Chain A
Amino acid sequence: MEKNSKQYQVKVNDFVFSFTQNEVMHADIVKQSPNDFHILQNNSAAHVHIMDADLSRRAFKAVVEGEIFFAEIKNELDLLIDSMGYTDAASTKLTSIKAPMPGLVLEISVKPGQEVSAGDKLLILEAMKMENSILIQDSAVIKSVAVKPGQAVEKGQLLVELE
């Protein structure tokens, strides 16, 4: 890598990409207007339009072929801080199950203290007249059930707590 090329990391939705300044400056990018870019990468073409830019937070909103993306740029200092572990370590253990959509609780299949394993049904949520079984992804022990049959829930509302 060239000596004076700064390293950047860009988080776009759930994806993370790393580029050096040189890579960006040498990529096949045509600037059509201050906010519009045409990019060729391995012969694939895309029009990218920057809808919003917050330079102080280095946060952007871009449209690629009709799809909207949220992007955040991190520079070398940000990356250094991240690597020193000052940010929260993501907890991997699931402690609660939240409603993936708004709906109506039809039926609850578990009770506190019960041991469940991956694929077991916790409850049935009705949304837009469809019944959706909410399953558990991993084995766990039910700590508490936060809803009752017949109850309407919002997206993200706590349904079941796990030990």
Chain B
Amino acid sequence: MNVVVMGCGRVGARVASILDHGGHNLSVIDLTSRSFQRLAPEFTGDTVIGTGIDEDVLRSAGIDRADVFIAVTDSDNRNIFAGQVARAMFNVPQVIMRIYDPVREDTYRRLGFATVCPTTTVSALIIDTVVKSTEPASPDASKGR
């Protein structure tokens, strides 16, 4: 698959490196070339410097033949904007946006986008861990006492 990743932070670099290792064609966009140092040393995909909300930058990243577009910059609005450019202007079949704000995430999920909200996901994991560690021992164990 042809995959374009916008934002080469920890998540973007990791997703891109793993998909690249898995045999997909990757293209990663970031504002600064330094960010590309986060990519795995054996990364074979393309890197493009620029802002993903600029159509010309997206085009040079190969957006017109992309099967997947992943927007993972640290700005919710930029991810939402670029995701909509990818879908509305370039007909990319699968668009994934990271949105930190749960309300915005809910709105765009309802509009048919694949969204990931770290705030709700990570909170749920933490709460789950806390609840598990404070739970009374399981019924079986208590019987034995």
Q: A and B from one assembly?
A: no
Residues of B in contact with A (beta carbons under 8 Å apart)? none
Residues of A in contact with B (beta carbons under 8 Å apart)? none
